[in-house]
Structure 1
Amino acid sequence: MRLRSLLFVPGDSDKKFAKARESGADVLILDLEDSVAPSMKDTAREMVQGWLDQAGEVEPALFVRINPLDTGLTLADLSAVVRPGLAGILVPKANGAHDIERIGHYLDALEQRSGIAPGTVKIAVVSTETPAAMFALGSYQQAGERLVGLTWGAEDLGAAIGITDNKEPDGSWTFPYQVARAQCLFAAAAAGVAPLDTLYANFKDPEGLEADCRRARRDGFTGRVAIHPAQVETINSCFSPSEEEVAFARRVVDAFAANPDAGTLGIDGKMVDIPHLVAARKTLAAAGEA
């Protein structure tokens, strides 16, 4: 499953779902949480069920952002959406791997009820939305095989700690959010799952989005959340390796395959070693090559 661009779609809007299907996003996140008013939760569940039933007709993988465990709505969400067509769920405001373990037990039972193979429904997590979550990021190493990605969020964390602004005058994140971003990146790497950068709120600023995506990929993120279809093309472009990067990665992999006992090799007058081989394999994987 490719997790390069993940586009949020309000769970109560057929019009926005239809537009999102044509966006080119790798994943559509059908939202039952923040973008749906409390009075519309039941309606949104019914609409999402209908969209999931169309899953065979659409190319993007379909995830659902459920409501957090402390709302009392989580089990109702899962009961409604765990059905053929659901590729995964996005868990907001998680406090650590123990929350994912609990949700995994729900999924075990609901997959069986729905006739879905065990472990089919994957899990991505918004891993930094509560203060307690910041102290539990290392726990995702024990989260299990359903976990496929970690992303981070700023707004709910800011509300919890009482910030007045999360951006510097130049648009960069303030220090607490730089910490959250970096810790999410490290936690994803430690857990062996995709590190996904948070949303870029100004969907009318394509130049700013591109610059921010390039910084994110430079730092190690492999994909990003989007809030508008117009952002998807830029995200896909920025998080896809260039032809030159892919060509060099193939040369590195081929060189080590031809010299299995070597720890260091020379390519283009530069020394490359095992970390370069690991990076080359990741580049090829990002390009869709084994």
Structure 2
Amino acid sequence: MMEPRSWLFVPADSERKIAKALDSAADALIFDLEDSVAPGEKVRAREVLKGLARRSGGPQWWVRVNPLRTDEHRLDLDLLGIADLHGIVLPKAESGADVAELAHRTGSIPVHAIVTETAASLFGLLSYRDPNSPLAAMSWGAEDLSAALGASSKYDQSGEFSFTYKLARSLCLAGAVAADVQPVDGVFADFRDEAGLTAEARAAAREGFTAKLAIHPAQVEAINAAFSPSSEELAHAQSIVAAFAAQPGAGVLSVGGKMVDRPHLLQATRVLERAR
């Protein structure tokens, strides 16, 4: 399965927003049954999803269900018979045991876990490392974590995330890489600030994230661009791979006037994989 660059949330109770999302360039759509749908609209949201007709091609379809061990969660799982549903987005995950509990009901359907939305979740990021798990991606969220911690703001005086949220973000990245699943950066809330989104997405790509959550179709293009290797990055990666292919026994080589070693080869291989 292709790793999406952009994961676009869309409220499952809004046919209008779903139509716009389907026409976007998002690699994956997350039909949301959780936070963006009012309690009284959840039944209707499920009916809307049941009536969706799949087009040829297009983005992957994922569904964010309600949290484990809730009545709404059990009702959400009735949607798993929808054709072409790629996977489930599990909110409020606190450990790999939560993914295992979900998989006990859903089998091998891929899971994208949102892993930093409660206080307890910050202590379980290594527990997702399970080779038998259907886990495919991990992302982080600041909004629910902020509410869970009773914070009055997520930001420091400079306007950046406070240390706690930077920590959650870094733990998500490291936890996902340790589990060998896709690390997905969180949302950028101001969908009108394209420059800010672009800067944040590019920074996330430099750090090792390979995708980002989106909350509006207008964010998709900038996210896709940020997580697509540039022509210069591709050329450099190809030159490193070619150099080691020509001298497979070498530990260190000179490429473009700079010394590169095996970690550089691994990074170059990942760049080429992302391009494919």
User: Which residue number in structure 1 is paired with residue 7 of structure 2?
Assistant: 6
- Give, in angstroms, the shift of residue 155 of structure 1: 1.3
Q: Which amino acid aligns with 2:87?
A: G
Give distance in 2, aligned partners of 1:55 and 1:254. Answer: 41
User: Which residue number in structure 2 is paired with residue 254 of structure 1?
Assistant: 242
User: Which residue number in structure 1 is paired with residue 30 of structure 2?
Assistant: 29
Q: Secondary structure at the match of 2:266?
A: helix
- Give, in angstroms, the shift of residue 160 of structure 1: 1.2
- Give, in angstroms, the shift of residue 22 of structure 1: 1.5
Structure 1 unpaired stretches of 5+: 109-118
Q: Which amino acid aligns with 1:154?
A: A
Do the aligned residues in 1 keep the contact of 2:92 with 2:114 (CA within 8 Å)? Answer: yes
Do the aligned residues in 1 keep the contact of 2:185 with 2:212 (CA within 8 Å)? Answer: yes
- Give, in angstroms, the shift of residue 56 of structure 1: 4.3
1:176 equivalent to 2:164? Answer yes
Taking the TM superposition and a 5 Å limit, the aligned residue runs for 1:261-280 are: 261-280=249-268
- Give, in angstroms, the shift of residue 70 of structure 1: 3.6
Q: TM-score, normalised by structure 2?
A: 0.96
Taking the TM superposition and a 5 Å limit, the aligned residue runs for 1:155-234 are: 155-234=143-222
Give distance in 1, aligned partners of 2:255 and 2:229. Answer: 19
Give distance in 2, aligned partners of 1:23 and 1:14. Answer: 14
Give distance in 2, aligned partners of 1:212 and 1:20. Answer: 22
Range moving further from structure 2, 213-222 or 237-246: 213-222
Q: TM-score, normalised by structure 1?
A: 0.92
Range moving further from structure 2, 144-153 or 99-108: 144-153
- Give, in angstroms, the shift of residue 17 of structure 1: 0.9
Give distance in 1, aligned partners of 2:69 and 2:158. Answer: 36
Report the identity percentage: 47
1:150 equivalent to 2:138? Answer yes
Cα distance per residue 1:228-283 (max 9 Å; x no partner): 00000000011111001011111111221222211111111111111001100110
CA-atom RMSD in angstroms: 1.3
Instruction: Tell me the matched-pair count.
Output: 275
User: Which residue number in structure 2 is paired with residue 60 of structure 1?
Assistant: 59
Q: Secondary structure at the match of 2:85?
A: coil
Give distance in 1, aligned partners of 2:194 and 2:220. Answer: 10
Q: Secondary structure at the match of 1:124?
A: strand
1:106 equivalent to 2:105? Answer yes
Give distance in 2, aligned partners of 1:146 and 1:282. Answer: 22
User: Which residue number in structure 1 is paired with residue 120 of structure 2?
Assistant: 132
- Give, in angstroms, the shift of residue 58 of structure 1: 4.5
Cα distance per residue 1:83-133 (max 9 Å; x no partner): 32100111000111111001111112xxxxxxxxxx3x2111100001111
- Give, in angstroms, the shift of residue 193 of structure 1: 1.0
Q: Which amino acid aligns with 1:96?
A: S
Do the aligned residues in 1 keep the contact of 2:33 with 2:64 (CA within 8 Å)? Answer: yes
